[in-house]
Structure 1
Amino acid sequence: MRSRDAALDGIRAIAALGVWLLHVGSNTGVMYREGMVPWMISRLGIAVPIFFLLSGLLLYRPWARAVIEDTPRPRPLRYLWRRVLRVMPAYWLVAGLALWAWSSFDWTGRLKWMLLAQNFFPGDPVPDGLYQMWTLPIEMSFYVLLPVLAWVLHRWARGGNRPVRLLAGIAVLAGVSLVTVTVARLFEQPQLALLLPYHLMFFACGMAMAVLSVWIGHSRVVDSLAPQLLVLAALLYALLSTELAGPRTLTLPTLSQSLWRLSLEAAVAVLLVAPFALASRPGSLRNRVLGNPVSAYLGRISYSFFLWHAPVITLQLKLTGAQPFQGDFLSVAVVSFVVTMVLSVGTHHLVEVGALKLGRHRSAPVPPPGAPAPVPAAPAP
């Protein structure tokens, strides 16, 4: 059974901190100042494509292994139940408190948010402290669709070279993303950016990486080029932090800017994750930096950190009476980080871990007398 990858947890930690820093920068107005640093802060939304890619990589890998190595496929109902337990209890806690404190919704409006259906009603206002939650309906849509996608890819791949056919089928998903972005801009339908097809490119990159990780295992080429790949990711991030990828404000980008942004975000995410997903080497400098105990632990609590940081920033700004885009960056950063960390540690251990333990307990079959104890499953991503 594959154990948890500490370096990938470290990448998840970096992504969560990126989202937090983006929202500190936007709420204090720092992000909209002149200069390269504000522009680079404004592009920390790259964290979302990284999260999406990791979901595609980690969740599709058992299905890819089933196709390539003829191992048993995951059971869809058990998989979906685990996804619900992984996402919903902590989300209900944070969203429920924010809705109670800052929304004027009636019961139908609150129900939409509690069921992660808010993206399907783009005209509704977004409550204070929940502006980051737009990504979760997209994640959940992928979770629900993945067993179907895996089944279709499994049938498609049986007719020839299985890994190659899997990669070809996954490429179609990336094409769907490109078409959706084009339609959204040409026909002025910005609400499409709140739906899964718009972001399938990132999930598809992760799924393709899952196929490669099963097919080729540890890649010596990727291992030898890992430093160059990480430097190239940084350089492309600098390019992403220009007007080539669109404005920093809520002004809609052009079609060209949208396509550049999609391509650059996908490239940065792939180049960042590939040296760890395709050439993991615990003794290497990159693995020791990202896979150290502190960053790995931050990665494990990153979901709770993601949930809590925006309500904490919102509450802090309300308590201090700061005007929009005029808060003190340093004080907001320090206080929000400390408070969010405390809440995240508690929520992770009391809610997230507790829910997953409950799921394992309820779904585990009772072994016959004298049978060896089952090997515990790897932690959920």
Structure 2
Amino acid sequence: MKSRDAALDGIRAIAALGVWLLHVGSNTGVMYREGMLPWMMSRLGIAVPIFFLLSGLLLYRPWARAVIENTARPQPLRYLWRRVLRVMPVYWLVTALVLWAWSPFDDWTGWVKWLLLAQNFFPGDPVPDGLYQMWTLPIEMSFYVLLPILAWLLHRFARRGNKPVRLLVGIGVLPMITVAAVVAARLFEQPQIALLLPYHLVYFACGMAMAVLSVWIGHSRVIDSLAPQLLVLAGLLYAVLSTELAGPRTLTLPTLSQSLWRVSLETAVAVLLVAPFALASRPGSLRNRVLGNPVGAYLGRISYSFFLWHAPVITLQLKLTGAQPFQGDFASVAAVSFMVTMLLSVGSHHLIEVPALRLSGHRSAPAPPAPARAPLPAAPAP
């Protein structure tokens, strides 16, 4: 699809592969060994903030354009219907299969909670084998539902004065909600708050701010010129994230300072990684050619299915081989789970995701205007 931004698809592919590698490493115990490499593997959960940031960027951009350029605003009901068709069909397939195979529930209520993406609101319930990655989807869906309301409030706030600046000021309030949620989760010992949208709102807010900037300034020459340095800085901050400063590798709860450091570093890494492509995309540049190569771009397009399938595949493989917890063979688990997950992802993408998107009337959103010297291509819908 020519209107898609291949580099952003490439970022999706890297994020999806990061989540897969994280779960291969954790299930085989490699992630808990000594050394810097296991620590860096343990922080591959940075993929989730990247996914959240991309959702904020791509979904809020039509609303930002409506404010700044006085174009028509998206219709909330139509937008929500598209989100449901984008997310739920493959989710229902994977979740139903896993619950059929390994359901820990004694009655139908557990099924209902999971099929309606309500599992995060019942933190005391058991998590079925193979669905441990699904905690992110209720947060995504919560943002989808909240976005039209946020967009309406921001639209009203930005009606007077410098509209882009006022939008950015309004969006700047959202990270404060995350700080409050992190503090509440640690001070009141309520770790389940981390399963709710307020704890992660900062990542979506950064994407929304990028959406405003992409419409307002188009192609940024400053970010373009600094792109290599920004990407190197993202890598350096990821190394800092991979230390005890950001908390333990295990399920042991971090302290308040560790939680705040982790959220701050994850936000910085996600922003530094995405900004050179969202605000200064140049198809001919080295960074765009590397991330936007045909293989990476295709993996990005099927990344949602890959994300859904990889955990059940790893779980099934470990059950079939009889591997003890945290003692599986990393190489064999990685090789087999990757190949099987890829096959399932290609099938579900083309047989379920693509027809569902056609049913929703989905079209790739046009890119924000950019100078003639460096046009900015449209980004894919999440």
> Structure 1: how far apart are the matches of 2:360 and 2:83?
10
Corresponding residue number in structure 1 for 2:14: 14
Q: Secondary structure at the match of 2:361?
A: helix
Is 2:58–2:380's contact at 8 Å kept on the other side of the alignment? no
| Residue identity matched to 2:300 | G
Corresponding residue number in structure 1 for 2:48: 48
Q: Deviations over 1:167-207 (max 9, x none)?
A: 01101011101111011111111000000000000000000
> Structure 1: how far apart are the matches of 2:235 and 2:360?
40
Corresponding residue number in structure 2 for 1:304: 305
| Residue identity matched to 2:316 | L
> Structure 2: how far apart are the matches of 1:283 and 1:168?
34
Q: Deviations over 1:257-314 (max 9, x none)?
A: 0000000000000000000000000000000000111000000000000000000000
| Residue identity matched to 1:357 | R
1:325 maps to 2:342: no
Q: 1:255 to 1:379 in 2, by over 3 A?
A: closer
Corresponding residue number in structure 2 for 1:206: 207
> Structure 1: how far apart are the matches of 2:342 and 2:298?
11
> 5+ residue gaps in structure 1?
362-376
Corresponding residue number in structure 2 for 1:74: 74
Corresponding residue number in structure 1 for 2:58: 58
Is 2:31–2:38's contact at 8 Å kept on the other side of the alignment? yes
Q: Secondary structure at the match of 2:347?
A: helix
| Residue identity matched to 1:94 | V
> Structure 2: how far apart are the matches of 1:84 and 1:14?
25
Is 1:86–1:380's contact at 8 Å kept on the other side of the alignment? no
Q: Deviations over 1:35-89 (max 9, x none)?
A: 0000000000000000000000000000000000101000101100000000000
Q: Deviations over 1:304-338 (max 9, x none)?
A: 00000000000000000000000000000000000
> Structure 2: how far apart are the matches of 1:379 and 1:279?
16
Trace 1:239-258 onto structure 2 (pairs within 5 A). 239-258=240-259
Trace 1:88-167 onto structure 2 (pairs within 5 A). 88-105=88-105, 106-167=107-168
Q: Secondary structure at the match of 2:360?
A: helix
Corresponding residue number in structure 2 for 1:374: none
Q: Secondary structure at the match of 2:328?
A: coil
> 5+ residue gaps in structure 2?
363-377
Q: Secondary structure at the match of 2:22?
A: helix
TM-score (norm 1): 0.95
| Residue identity matched to 1:285 | L
Is 2:20–2:311's contact at 8 Å kept on the other side of the alignment? yes
Corresponding residue number in structure 2 for 1:277: 278
| Residue identity matched to 1:70 | N
Deviation at 1:380, TM superposition (A): 2.9
Is 2:58–2:379's contact at 8 Å kept on the other side of the alignment? no
> Structure 2: how far apart are the matches of 1:139 and 1:89?
15
| Residue identity matched to 1:58 | L
| Residue identity matched to 1:202 | Y
| Residue identity matched to 2:68 | I
Deviation at 1:32, TM superposition (A): 0.2
1:5 maps to 2:16: no
> Structure 2: how far apart are the matches of 1:119 and 1:233?
30
> Structure 2: how far apart are the matches of 1:332 and 1:257?
31
Deviation at 1:159, TM superposition (A): 2.0
| Residue identity matched to 2:270 | A
Deviation at 1:162, TM superposition (A): 0.6
Deviation at 1:137, TM superposition (A): 0.1
> Structure 2: how far apart are the matches of 1:202 and 1:332?
31
Corresponding residue number in structure 2 for 1:336: 337
> Structure 2: how far apart are the matches of 1:284 and 1:264?
27
Q: 1:354 to 1:211 in 2, by over 3 A?
A: same
Deviation at 1:379, TM superposition (A): 5.3
Q: Deviations over 1:104-137 (max 9, x none)?
A: 3211110000000000000000000000000000
> Structure 1: how far apart are the matches of 2:197 and 2:215?
25
> Structure 2: how far apart are the matches of 1:228 and 1:114?
44
Q: Deviations over 1:143-184 (max 9, x none)?
A: 000000000000001121111110011010111011110111
| Residue identity matched to 2:16 | A
Corresponding residue number in structure 2 for 1:368: none
Corresponding residue number in structure 1 for 2:296: 295
RMSD: 1.3
Deviation at 1:356, TM superposition (A): 1.1
| Residue identity matched to 2:202 | M
> Structure 1: how far apart are the matches of 2:188 and 2:380?
42
> Structure 2: how far apart are the matches of 1:61 and 1:310?
32
Dislocated runs of 4+, deviation >2 Å? 377-380
Is 2:5–2:380's contact at 8 Å kept on the other side of the alignment? no
Percent identity (aligned): 87
> Structure 2: how far apart are the matches of 1:315 and 1:264?
34
> Structure 1: how far apart are the matches of 2:178 and 2:151?
18
Q: Secondary structure at the match of 1:360?
A: coil
Q: How many residues align?
A: 366
> Structure 1: how far apart are the matches of 2:289 and 2:360?
32
